[in-house]
Amino acid sequence: MTLTPVGLEHYLFVACLLFSIGVFGVLLRSNTLIILMCLELMLSASIVALIAFSRFNAIEGSLMMGGNLFVLFIIAIAAAEVAIGLAIIVALWRRQQTLDATEITSLKH
């Protein structure tokens, strides 16, 4: 039995899976912390895709470093987003003692 070498499509499959998990997590989960994590998952999906493309599109004479470079920035941005997100969630918890997104509905209509 031979192992199929891991190719671009596998990475992309993982990326799509991560993206879908992220999207549906945001759609379906009501805990704001989990929503925040799912948002990060969506970014991670792109990270995987970018690196995979970067690796598999590289040929002699064209190194395709742009994707790798991009990923570094994305990680930094994701960190900033989480920091702000957590700060807001903590402040909300202090104010309202809930993390349930379905209960935070004072702004409407």
Partner 1 sequence: MHLPDILLLILLAPLVSAGLIWLFGRRNGHLAATLSVGAAGIIAVASLYLLFAFWDGAVAEDMAIRWVTLGEFSLSLGFSLNMVSATMLFVVGVVGFLIHIFSLGYMADDAGKGRFFGGLSIFMFSMLGMVLSDNLFMIFVFWELVGFSSYMLIGHYMKKGEAAEASKKAFIVNRVGDFGLLIGFIIVFWTFGTTQISELAVAVGAEPELLSTIMGLLLFCGVAGKSAQLPLHVWLPDAMAGPTPISALIHAATMAAAGVFLVARLPFLFTVDALTIIAWIGVITALSSAIWAFAQNDIKKILAYSTLSQLGFMVAGFGFGSLYGGSAAAIEAYGAQAALFGVGAALFHMTTHAFFKALLFLGAGSVIHACHHEQDIYKMGGLLKKMPITGITFAIGVITIAAVPFVASGFFSKDAILYVAKLVNPVAFGLLVGAALLTATYMGRLFVVVFLGKPRSEAAEHAHETSWVMWLPLAVLAFFSVFAGYVKQFPLIPATLHPILYDAVPHPAGSEHTLLIIISAVAATMGLLGAFLFYRKADQIDPLQEKAYPLWVVAKSRFFFDEVYDAYVAKVQQRVAEVLSFLDALLISGLLVRGSAGLVGVFGILARTLHTGNVHSYVWWFFAGLFIFSLYAFGLLGG
Partner 2 sequence: MPSTEELQALVAANTWSALLPEILLGVLALALLAVDAFAPRRQPQTLLAAMVGQAAILAWLLFAVFTAEAGEARVYFAGSVVQTALSDWMRIFFVTCSLFTTHLALVYLRNREYPRVEYIHVSLVVTASFMLLVQSGNFLLFFVALETLTIGFYVLVAFARTSRFSLEAGLKYLVMGGFSSGILLFGIALLYGVAGNPLLPATAVDPLNFIELGAFIGAVGIDGANAAHPLVIAGSLLVLTGVLFKVGAVPFQIWVPDVYQGAPTPTTAALAVASKAGGFFVLFILLSGPFLALESLLFPVLAGVTAVTLVFGNIAPLGQQNVKRIMGLSGVAHAGVLLLGMLAAYQVPWAFHAVLFYLLVYAIASFAVFEVMAHLAPDEDADQDISHYRGLLKRHPLLGSALVIGLGSLAGIPPLAGFIAKVLIFVAAFQAGLYTLLAVAILGVVISIYYYFGWMRAAVLRELVDDGESGREPLRVTIPTKVILVALALITVVGGIFQAGLTKLVGLS
Interacting residues toward partner 1 by CB under 8 A? 23, 26-28, 30, 35, 101-102, 104-109
97 binds, among partner 2, partner 1, none (CB under 5 to 8 A by kind): none
In 3D, which of 56, 58, 53 has the Cα closest to residue 71? 53
At 59, phi and psi to the nearest 5? -130, 175
52 binds, among partner 2, partner 1, none (CB under 5 to 8 A by kind): partner 2
Say whether 31 sits in a helix, a strand or coil.
strand
Work out whether the CA dihedral 35, 40, 43, 47 comes out positive or negative.
Answer: negative
CB of 9 to partner 1, least distance (A): 19
Whether the CB-CB separation of 66 and 78 falls below 8 Å is answered with no
Query: Which residue lies nearer to partner 2 by CB, 3 or 39?
Result: 39
Binding positions for partner 2, rule: CB under 8 A: 12, 15, 19, 22-23, 26, 32, 35-36, 39, 42-43, 45-46, 49-50, 52-54, 57, 59, 62-64, 66-67, 69-70, 73-74, 77, 80-81, 84-85, 87-89, 91-92, 95-96, 101, 104-108
CA atoms within 13 A of residue 24's CA, in its CB half-sphere: 5
